[in-house]
Amino acid sequence: MEKIRIIIADDHQLFRNGLKILLNAFPEFEVVGEVSNGEEFLRILKTTKADIALMDISMPEMDGIEATRKGLKLCPEIDIIALSMYGEEEYYYKMVDAGAKGFLVKDSDISEVKDAILTVRKGGSYFSQELLYHVIQKIKHRENESKSANLSKRETEILFKICEGLSNQEIAETLFISKRTVDKHRANLLGKTNSKNTASLILFAIRNKLIAI
């Protein structure tokens, strides 16, 4: 089985070294590069083939948002997962707009980092469950906000469940409806909010103050 090639972009060397050791301990992963800022990330992309980039949002010279945007232009096939600190929620939608497919808090357990990488490589989006819990405690149900996107009461309810990190099957079981019905509502949500994926939907909820940060 071909290994998943990973680049770590973070301006703290001790953090990079520790994460590299932990990731290389998994037989399915290989850290092929580490950089301390966005400029270095763009340079390494020209010489190193990678599948995943773990991208710090706050870095000197070029931050993770710009590095993500420019990096995906150079290598559209790479998947980028943002490395976040609490308090950086205001940058999440910018990272999604730039092309990030996942978010991890920096103190995540290595098993969650593994799950995030595997999920994103399979075409999904990933939000750290700890991060979601931190944000979801501040949920505010605001009907006037949901009406601005023409969301029905059921669509708004399902959007909140998505923000809680539930799968379509779990949402169906929680709301006592069929998964097919949830699938349909989710498709409607993507269309109405002009979102590309689950990460975009969550950021829509944050940006429109359905979830307060």
pLDDT at 138: 53
Task: Enter the CATH code of domain 4-132.
Answer: 3.40.50.2300
Q: Which residues of 120-138 are buried (b: 16+ CB within 10 A; e: fewer)?
A: beeeebbbbbebbeebbee
**At CB < 8 A and 24+ separation, what contacts does 104-110 make?**
104/54, 104/128, 104/131, 105/130, 105/131, 106/15, 110/22, 110/23
Tokens of 91: 């940058």
Tell me the pLDDT tens digit for each residue of 111-170.
999 999 998 998 878 887 666 666 555 544 444 445 556 888 899 889 888 887 788 899
pLDDT at 199: 74
Q: Report the distance separating Cα 57 and Cα 5, nearest Å.
A: 20
Q: Report the distance separating Cα 164 and Cα 158, nearest Å.
A: 10
Rounded mean pLDDT, 181-187: 92
How would CATH label the architecture of 138-207? Orthogonal Bundle (1.10)
Least confident of 25-29, 38-42, 56-60, 87-91: 87-91
Rounded mean pLDDT, 3-17: 95
pLDDT at 1: 73
pLDDT cut 90: percent of the chain above it: 51
Q: Between residues 92 and 12, which one has the greater pLDDT? A: 12
User: Does residue 64 carry a pLDDT above 90?
Assistant: yes
Tell me the pLDDT tens digit for each residue of 37-56.
999 999 999 999 999 999 99
Bridge partners, residue 79, by sequence: 52
How far is the first Cα of the chain from the last one, in angstroms, to the nearest whole number? 41
Q: CATH 1.10.10.10 occupies which residues in the chain?
A: 138-207
Beta carbons of 182 and 158 less than 8 angstroms apart: yes
Rounded mean pLDDT, 57-64: 90
Name the E strands within the chain.
4-9, 29-35, 52-56, 79-84, 102-105, 126-127
pLDDT at 96: 81
User: Does residue 78 carry a pLDDT above 80?
Assistant: yes
Q: Between residues 194 and 50, which one has the greater pLDDT? A: 50
Tell me the pLDDT tens digit for each residue of 118-130.
989 988 788 876 6
pTM of the model: 0.71
Q: CATH 3.40.50.2300 occupies which residues in the chain?
A: 4-132
